[in-house]
Structure 1
């Protein structure tokens, strides 16, 4: 009893932990709710999948850029005030995202919203670590992981209900309500956090180089996919070259500064750090890409309502929820390698079947596959996150954590971009317009031949039937091409899962001799 009382968390500490956790609920829900609404956003904003996916890619890229800048603010200012500012900023840009008048302003507001969310999410863990005694960090981390766990489970359902029964704008307006409550709780229950290191400086140049390099590569990829006949077009080559050049300049810059940068290259000389970050980057493609495709498949191919599309994704979130509590013990007992490898096999078993899905695939079967996929994807990132710090001195842990968060978020944004590029490329390569035009000509010639044989002009009814047949044929071709694109996207994700096994083999294994 005495030991239990000793390990019991103080009420004041729990109150602060729950305030921090509640503050992260809106940003975590937001990303999953937008995924389910992407089809409606594409329709209402009159744009393509390649363009609207920047609402997701830009959001996650902004999260990555926010990481080092947030660290600078926490070092120089009161952490409580920084969190209040970030919460207000997230609420303002959520409101503006709902008020966006075209796709360009929508993406712009989403980028600023993502930047604010990056602050909120990072501050949640950073401030908690400053609050918690070392022997109680695990218990408190279980508290703040709540929004991370519930996001994939209830986010699609809430988002689907909002889009179906209200409008997509309310996905963003609801954030304002969360932000107001979070701000009031922050003011009343959260203690002040004095600046950690006022003398520290922010590596602006290094941060801009990494952001520019990532954006250049992703944008170049998108420009290439928009022209199925000429993927390696001039614009694509220019942006990819600029992206690669930014990374090369960063490597030189890091060498000149002897590793005193936002992401020191010396960390990658550590086998575990290199392997884990390579795995995390690839996992972003393997997990985030299908997260974009699954709602689109159920809405565009199965003609599900947005609400039903959210409900059918529940098994995946449930799988992620169930596997999470057992991961910590497994990693401690076995090491990262076996946990990652098993998770990869399970993830592959839950992703590869989607390569062969059709418009009439049994829903119960899909539910089981989604549950299996949730179990696998849910077990991928945590062991790799713990592997990052193996072999690093304590003095490097803070910088290594910042670098990892950047790589994690860039990988996630790269995943959305890669998969949408693949889908767009496949759809365009089907030449739907050309096929529909040819089909219309065949039907028109048949109609005119019949009219000539009877020496009459085609009736209004006959012309209307011709139009309906052409439209129906076009819709059929579009649906088939889109399904082929989704299948190819899932195939790419499956291949990436197999590739992750390579860096996984270099991770720790506590049962190895």
Structure 2
């Protein structure tokens, strides 16, 4: 009873407290999303801009591809060091620094005078973008404190869903209506607004007592070149003699050798390694990493095939092909909240299994694609595929943080993002190589469509391989204890 003799109000039901997203987390997530949209849009816009850039810069397509390759290598090589950089600078300052570097790189790209300068400035962009892509997941998980991981993931993956919807359309419109330099100037408002919001909303922090502040230089010299070499080798796989080609074999062998050397070094160094690979003893992180790799291959490889199919087989323009891709992003955007809610309630495992089965079922029809398949039917299938991919990404990326301590979040985020990047590079390289070989000598739309069908079957295989791995993901989470804070009246009656 209260002091006035009235009955104290009952504590709020668990459903009203445990599942509620902290307003501070929502504010933090919105702030990070605004800045991250610059990186996501830039990546997806470039996916439809390379062919147009080659003509506008009066250079070959092979040379222009380095505008993407250079950015990708810088992005990937930067990711392993983000955890160390955060321990030195703090999350807020590192986010603003990464966003600032991406902003400067965007301005420099817009001012580029030839393809060589554009490639160099894209490297600057890649360093900033790689920092942001790892840090955004770390900051969200640290503020969420491991609670409601599914809902937190559904918030932070908004840019991933918006990018495929808007990026290719924006890129196609810019190349159709304006100067190519606007591809990079388009990033500027997001960088400026995102920087202001970060300065205002991100919690001030700095080096924490007891955290690692000395750079693992040996690990950096082993791991970053290893990732860059492997990704470079994969980018050279298409259009070569296969794995036997020197442009493929040398970087892949060298990268794998450096990777083996890093594993040996990291096991000796333990938690002071650049990325603590001992975290793979957590089954959730290990299985999540494998699934993120496969999903990167299935998602990004198919994202390259689809616009090529509509342009080469159906004669669509870059803008027309981009508009036909919108259902994928819409499906991914709509599935986020539901996937996050069910992940928190039932665990990652059932959500991921259902999502991958749905994705596989929606990829198989593209194996039968022809030169006259209905665009409406394909768009309907793409919507279903987007629903599946959106749910899968939330379940498997959220699973990477289950059971980890907050100080382990930066390493887990770095491992997850690197796996996705390498998987994406492998998926693109393998599917393009298959497409080129399957369509070699094809001179009719029907023959070209058959080659695309073969490549889509491989994409379906990547998805199917993920289903059994989902069984290793965490199941139903343990119920979290509810803490009821007594009112002052209640406290006055305690003895």
- The TM-score bracket by the shorter chain reads 0.7 to 0.9
Residue 145 to residue 247, structure 1, CA distance change in 2 (3 Å): closer
Change (3 A) 1:115 1:364: same
Give the Å deviation of 1:347. Answer: 1.1
In the TM superposition, residue 116 of structure 1 has moved relative to its aligned partner by 0.5
The more displaced of 183-192 and 16-25 is: 183-192
Q: TM-score of the superposition, structure 2-length normalised? A: 0.81
- The residue correspondences of 1:8-23 to structure 2 (distance < 5 A) are 17-23=29-35
Q: 1:68-104 CA deviation, whole Å, 9 max, x = no partner?
A: 4333332222544433332221122123333445555
Higher helix share: 1
Q: What residue in structure 2 maps to residue 441 of structure 1?
A: none
Q: CA deviation at 1:376?
A: 1.4
CA distance in 1, matches of 2:198, 2:403: 37
Once the two structures are TM-superposed, the CA of residue 321 in structure 1 deviates from its matched residue by: 0.9
Q: Does 1:366 align with 2:386?
A: no
1:9 to 1:374, Cα distance in 2 relative to 1, 3 A: closer
Distance 1:391 1:80 in 2: 25
Distance (Å, rounded) in 2 between the aligned partners of 1:316 and 1:213: 33
RMSD after superposition:
3.4
**In the alignment, which of 216, 222, 244 is matched to residue 256 of structure 2?**
244
Report the CA distance shift for 1:206/1:490 in structure 2 as closer, same or farther (over 3 A). farther
Name the structure 2 match of 1:215.
228
Instruction: Check conservation: 1:92, 1:176, Cα contact below 8 A.
Output: no
Query: Paired residue for 1:491?
Result: 457
* Aligned match of 1:459: none
Q: How far apart are the structure 2 equivalents of 1:177 and 1:5?
A: 36
Aligned to 2:433: 421
CA gap of 1:103–1:482, structure 2 versus 1, over 3 A, is: farther
Which SS does the other structure have where 2:49 is aligned?
Answer: helix
Larger radius of gyration: 1
Q: What are structure 2's unaligned runs of at least 5 residues?
A: 1-8, 478-495
**What corresponds to 2:216 in structure 1?**
203
CA contact (8 A) 2:327 2:380 kept: yes
Which of these residues, 265, 290, 299, is aligned with residue 287 of structure 1? 299
Cα distance change of structure 1 residues 16 and 223 upon mapping to structure 2, 3 Å threshold: closer
Would the aligned equivalents of 1:61 and 1:410 in 2 still touch at CA under 8 Å? no
* 1:166 shift after superposition: 1.4
* 165, 176, 180: which one aligns with 1:168: 180
For 1:166 and 1:44, how far apart are their aligned partners in 2?
A: 12
- Listed as ranges, the matches of 1:103-502 within 5 Å are 103-128=115-140, 144-187=156-199, 190=202, 192-196=204-208, 199-228=212-241, 232-258=244-270, 260-392=272-404, 396-427=408-439, 429-430=440-441, 476=443, 483-502=449-468
Pairwise CA distance, 1:204: 3.4
- Residue correspondences, number: 463
Structure-1-length-normalised TM-score: 0.78
What stretches of structure 1 of length at least 5 have no aligned partner? 433-475
Specify the alignment match of 1:473 in structure 2: none
Separation in 2 of the partners of 1:408 and 1:160? Answer: 26
Q: What's the secondary structure of 1:225's corresponding residue?
A: coil
- CA positional deviation for 1:367: 0.9
Matched, 1:95 2:61: no
Q: For residues 113-147 of structure 1, what are the alpha-carbon distances to aligned partners after superposition, in whole Å with 9 as ceiling and x for unaligned?
A: 12212223444444455666887988776654433
